[in-house]
Amino acid sequence: MNKEIFKLYDIRGEYPSQINEKEVFEIGFKSTSIFRKGAKIVIGRDARLSSPGLSKALENGLINAGFEVFDVGIITTPMLDFAVNFFKADGGIVVTASHNPKDDNGLGIVDSSGLFIGGRDLFLKMSSEKNNFKTTYIKKENKIKRENLDLKYAQELSEYFDVSKKIKAVVDCSNGSSAPVIKKIKFPKNVEAIIINGNLDGNFKAHGPDPTQKIAQVAIAKAVIKYKADIGIVFDGDGDRALFADGKGKIIRPENIWRILAQGARDKKQSVVFTVLCRYMMNLIKNSSGFSNEFNFVETRVGHLFMKEVCRKEKAFAGVESSMHYYFPEDNFSGSAILAMIKVINSISKLPYDFYQLSDMLPKVFVSREINFKFDLKKLPVIYSKIKKMFSSRDNKIYFTDGISVLSSDWWFNVRPSNTENLVRLNIEAKEEIKLEEIKKYLTKILSK
């Protein structure tokens, strides 16, 4: 097996040079290292061009290893949790590379509770397997059950609508796997949903599968203005990220989306879970909105692997990541972007004014897009020491939750290693642009050496 494709969160690589049918067959066959022999395993896939072939190879690997397979076809990644629960299966595997470029692909593997199993843990377990096998596809159709769950999943999500006034929404499916579900969602009569880029296309021709890219953000802004909509939503390639735009086409940060959702929280003093990259904005919101006494703010590391576990442990009201992932208890914190859309539509429908007017009231800061540096990760302790020495003062707080973070009243930054590459990632936010540039200049100098 190719060790390089086993990342911290999942399995991912470029097709076919890194991940291909042979690799995926072997992973399927060696899944006896994580699931009992004869276990029920659900498989699904996204809309990428390479996904059908990889899914077939996975299916054959699992069947040859003695598993009972439930193939649910094209799904969003959060649907895997739903499908595992629906079939009372022992686990599930989805073929997807999420928001990555179209030529990438991968696998996400969950246990019976819907929690993802990290790629590095998978490699350690699978590489110890002594089984010998040949890459031969033995057809055992009696071991395979095929069922489309789009309608059942859409019906369950539709139950969460609670809309108080008329809302017009532009819903951009990004040519990805959220499209079949969105088309079956039962929108209330007072919600006019205009679905765009709803055709499945593994080339993601509209604007690619990543809503954080400028091309996707410009597209939704134009669509919102064109249709005179109240809100715009963009899903990523596998339906676990949602970008939101207001009625003027302005992109709303995930932390501010949480603030909007929190306005309608009935049972106060619940937990909200967020990652280290949300710390500065969440602090601003907490201190400016009176939420400090109403919610328990819980911070964790970046990534769904950590978010889901902590959200469940805390029985959180919601979880939020700066990467536009949202987590809710209603669906076992699966990270459904479609559920996030429903809950945000519900919330803005209860505002006494338009959504864009609220967004004008939200905290504003200058933000550096994530900056990546090629770096020898063994040298990070020295860099952390330099940063700590440079920024130590009674006005600054220094954290080591995920890399190193320095928090001041007017600015914040985080330096952390990539979980998938030999890179160091830098994020900076500040109330004044001149301060952001000052910090950026200093950190770029020491991280570029």
| Residue ranges of the chain whose pLDDT lies below 50 | none
Q: Is 152-359 in CATH node 3.40.120.10? A: yes
The reported pTM is: 0.94
Which residues are within 8 A (CB) of 51 and not within 5 positions of it... i.e. 6 or more apart? Answer: 45, 74, 95, 96, 105, 202
pLDDT for 357 equals 93
Catalogue the long-range contacts made by 412-416 (C-beta closer than 8 Å, 24 or more residues apart): 412/279, 412/280, 413/439, 413/443, 414/276, 414/277, 414/279, 415/383, 415/384, 415/387, 415/443, 415/447, 416/276, 416/302
Q: Is 3-148 in CATH node 3.40.50.150? A: no
Q: Which tens digit of pLDDT belongs to each residue from 27-42?
A: 999 999 999 989 999 9
pLDDT for 268 equals 65
CATH of domain 366-447: 3.30.310.50
Tokens representing 200 are: 């499945």
Residue 400, beta-bridge partner list: none
Is 340 in contact with 328 (CB distance < 8 Å)?
yes
pLDDT for 101 equals 94
DSSP 154-221: HHHHHTT----S-EEEEEE-TTSTTHHHHTT----TTEEEEEES-S--TT-TTT-S-TTSHHHHHHHH
Helix (H, G, I), strand (E, B) or coil at 351: coil
pLDDT for 141 equals 57
Q: Which run of H or E residues covers position 254?
A: helix 254-262
Question: What residues are labeled active site?
Answer: 98
pLDDT for 139 equals 55
pLDDT for 449 equals 77
The full set of domain ranges for the chain reads 3-148, 152-359, 366-447
Kindly state the greatest CA–CA separation across the chain. Answer: 68
pLDDT for 150 equals 98
Domain 3-148 shares a fold with domain 152-359: yes
Triad 198, 325, 316: Cα angle to 5°: 130
Cis peptide before 417 (omega within 30 of 0): no
